[in-house]
Chain A
Amino acid sequence: MASHTANSTESDTRTVVFRIWRGDVNGGQFVVYPVEVTQGMVVLDCVHKIQAEQAQDLACRWNCKAGKCGSCSAEINGKPSLMCMTRMDMMPVGEEIMVEPMQAFPIIRDLVTDVSWNFEVKKKIKPFKPRKPDNADGSWTVYQADVERAQEFRKCIECFLCQDVCHVLRDHHKHDEFIGPRSMVFTAALEMNPLDTEDRLADLKNRDGIGYCNITKCCTKVCPEHIAITDNAIIPLKERVVDEFYDPITRLFRMFRPKS
């Protein structure tokens, strides 16, 4: 999504108009707040400034302000983003900035949504089930080449921006049939772990609804950790599901393969 860069110096300050969604489950509206912005500020700074100076009751979830806790997810000018990682000098100059809560989840109040559904989904994914230890001391021998793929997925900070932007959840509200990109990433980290012996493919196909993903790559575009969610997690899982359920030749080979 394009943006313009404002040239500014140390002493530069400017007034930026924020439109922030205020409300709760019963409804709400955008409220206008003018904010004095100085160099180096991010959107979360501005929200804090509004809290301090104009609206002490403005609800906003945040924690680290360093893009690592995944708490301050919101939609800024229509784009699911972390408020703490959205720099003001990257925002369009002279335009209002619209901040609203994530739309794939139920609203609690103002910018805070109820993301507990994601944790409920996570609990239902079969947990890590390691093979027998390789060594007498109960440890395993694992090579870097084998864990590299899963390590990418471990970068996830659970900001749920990918869940928010996914149209299957956001527009079609398939929360009961589709676990969403974040949970796919979590499943991929387990499925591709060389120590893991659990089989989650039937769940992926039936309960988790991997087929609902139609590869828009929106999840990849909004990921603040730059995880290639679609290419490295969802599509490889789709291919494993094809191996298991849709490819007759692979199934035929499997019938004659010696059991390990």
Chain B
Amino acid sequence: MSRPNISLPQVRGFLETKRRDRWWIQPLVVLAGFLTFVIYSTWAAFQGANYFTGGPSQLGVQQLLSPFYSPVIWDAAGVESGHAWMGPQPLWWPAWMIFSPALLILPFPGLFRFTCYYYRGAYYKAFWGDPVSCSVGEPKFRGDNYRGEQKFPLVLQNVHRYALYIAILFIFLLGWDAFCSYWNLGADGKHHFGVSVGTLVLTMNVVLLGGYTFGCHCWRHLVGGKHDCMSCSKVRQTAYSRVSWLNERHMLFAWMSLFWVGFSDVYVRLCASGVWTDWRILG
């Protein structure tokens, strides 16, 4: 595949381009959006407090659990959320190691987003300038050593489908949380149905995360894309068609779900810390 023995034309310098549109806006917005989310979610994950409302400690209040902390394996020390699978923080947890329930959870959806085909394209541009934008010059410090995803380390992005399997599990877990949020624990010890802004926030979170997760390129491949014969199975054909619809809007769902999952945590955190009161709509 060697090219003819004629040298290629111009090699541009970093950010050099003949484009006259505002090509820098998109990578800048992506950079700002991702950085904001990463900084906030890291801060929120390390808090280990104010991640739920309701439960045994707040009777008559809708049970909202921050999606950053779901599922709660162990509650943070001195906290009883009513959501923990295995009770409080274990005694054997090393004292020198910071504990927060979210730190055990966030790496998994984080890995899903990090290896997502849409996000890859977006952060390669915004963070690594590879390229900054289409037909815009790249930083030259990398020299001729471009490896893309062909070689280590980025060949590991191929783990995406395993991250997807976990992300699908999370959709069901967050769906269960959203369902549970409609029930508050009354003073009579029984659960009562109720709808609040918080319950709707968590429900919308599941819908948007579902739209993002089930529009994944890997999922599209697995439900039917890997087969050449679509007509061989009506189920495959229908599933592929539905997932393709979502896949065409993958970027939209990626951003909406990213924003909403962060907003869900903010909302629950504000309610849990008493800054905000979850407005009851029904029940």
CA distance A170 to B136 in the complex (A): 10
In chain B between 113 and 172, which residues have their CB closer than 8 angstroms to a CB of chain A? 117-118, 120-121, 124-125, 130-131, 134-135, 137-138, 144, 146-151, 154-155, 158, 161
Q: List 27 A-B contacts (CB under 8 A).
A: A1-B21, A1-B23, A25-B6, A77-B19, A79-B135, A98-B18, A100-B18, A106-B7, A114-B4, A116-B4, A146-B228, A165-B134, A175-B3, A176-B2, A196-B228, A211-B154, A212-B149, A214-B124, A214-B149, A215-B120, A215-B121, A216-B121, A216-B131, A218-B131, A231-B250, A236-B220, A242-B158
Chain A positions within 8 Å of B231 at CB level:
143, 145-146
Cβ–Cβ contact B155 & A211, under 8 A: yes
Chain B positions within 8 Å of A95 at CB level:
20
CA distance A240 to B225 in the complex (A): 9
| A28 to B, closest residue via Cβ | B9
Cβ–Cβ contact A221 & B151, under 8 A: no
Proximity bits, B212-250, A CB within 8 Å = 1, else 0:
000001101100011011110000010000000001101
Q: Nearest-CB distance from A156 to chain B (Å)?
A: 19
Chain B positions within 8 Å of A225 at CB level:
none
Chain A positions within 8 Å of B149 at CB level:
211-214
CA distance A114 to B8 in the complex (A): 10
Cβ–Cβ contact A172 & B121, under 8 A: no
Cβ–Cβ contact A114 & B237, under 8 A: no
| Chain A count of residues within 8 A CB distance of the other chain | 70
Best-surrounded residue of B22, B135, B137 (most CB of chain A within 10 A): B135
CA distance A236 to B226 in the complex (A): 7
List 10 extra interface pairs beyond A194-B229, A212-B146, CB under 8 A: A78-B20, A106-B3, A117-B1, A145-B230, A172-B146, A176-B2, A176-B3, A218-B131, A239-B221, A243-B221
Cβ–Cβ contact A212 & B148, under 8 A: yes
Chain A positions within 8 Å of B221 at CB level:
236, 239-240, 243
**Choice from A117, A173, A177, A214 contacting B130 with Cβ under 8 Å:** A214
Known interface pairs A77-B19, A145-B231, A216-B134. Does A101 touch B125 (Cβ–Cβ under 8 Å)?
Answer: no
Cβ–Cβ contact A1 & B19, under 8 A: yes
Best-surrounded residue of A117, A120, A231, A239 (most CB of chain B within 10 A): A239
Chain A positions within 8 Å of B9 at CB level:
101, 103, 106-107
Proximity bits, A117-153, B CB within 8 Å = 1, else 0:
1001100100000000000000000010110100000
**Choice from B7, B18, B120 contacting A214 with Cβ under 8 Å:** B120
Cβ–Cβ contact B134 & A218, under 8 A: yes
CA distance A79 to B19 in the complex (A): 6
Proximity bits, A93-105, B CB within 8 Å = 1, else 0:
0010010110111
CA distance A210 to B149 in the complex (A): 8
| A2 to B, closest residue via Cβ | B21
- Ordered nearest first, which 3 A-B pairs have the shortest CB separation? A211-B150, A78-B18, A106-B6
Query: Could you list which residues of chain A lie within 8 angstroms of chain B, going by C-beta atoms?
Result: 1-3, 25, 75, 77-80, 92, 95, 98, 100-101, 103-107, 114, 116-117, 120-121, 124, 143, 145-146, 148, 165, 167-168, 170-177, 179, 191-194, 196, 209-218, 221-222, 228, 230-231, 235-236, 238-240, 242-243, 246-247
Cβ–Cβ contact A176 & B1, under 8 A: yes
Cβ–Cβ contact B135 & A121, under 8 A: no
Best-surrounded residue of A78, A117, A124, A209 (most CB of chain B within 10 A): A78
Is B17 among interface residues, defined by CB-CB distance under 8 A? Answer: yes
| A97 to B, closest residue via Cβ | B20
**Choice from B144, B147, B226, B247 contacting A243 with Cβ under 8 Å:** B226
Is B192 among interface residues, defined by CB-CB distance under 8 A? Answer: no
| A241 to B, closest residue via Cβ | B158
Known interface pairs A77-B19, A145-B231, A240-B226. Does A211 touch B237 (Cβ–Cβ under 8 Å)?
Answer: no
Is B12 among interface residues, defined by CB-CB distance under 8 A? Answer: yes
Cβ–Cβ contact B20 & A167, under 8 A: no
| B145 to A, closest residue via Cβ | A172
Chain A positions within 8 Å of B135 at CB level:
75, 78-80, 165, 170, 218
**Choice from B2, B10, B161, B237 contacting A242 with Cβ under 8 Å:** B161
**Choice from A168, A228, A242 contacting B146 with Cβ under 8 Å:** A168
Cβ–Cβ contact B8 & A106, under 8 A: yes
Cβ–Cβ contact A231 & B247, under 8 A: yes
CA distance A79 to B121 in the complex (A): 19
Proximity bits, B163-202, A CB within 8 Å = 1, else 0:
0000000000000000000000000000000000000000
Chain B positions within 8 Å of A228 at CB level:
248
Is B86 among interface residues, defined by CB-CB distance under 8 A? Answer: no
Chain B positions within 8 Å of A117 at CB level:
1, 3-4
Chain A positions within 8 Å of B124 at CB level:
214-216
Best-surrounded residue of B2, B121, B151, B237 (most CB of chain A within 10 A): B121
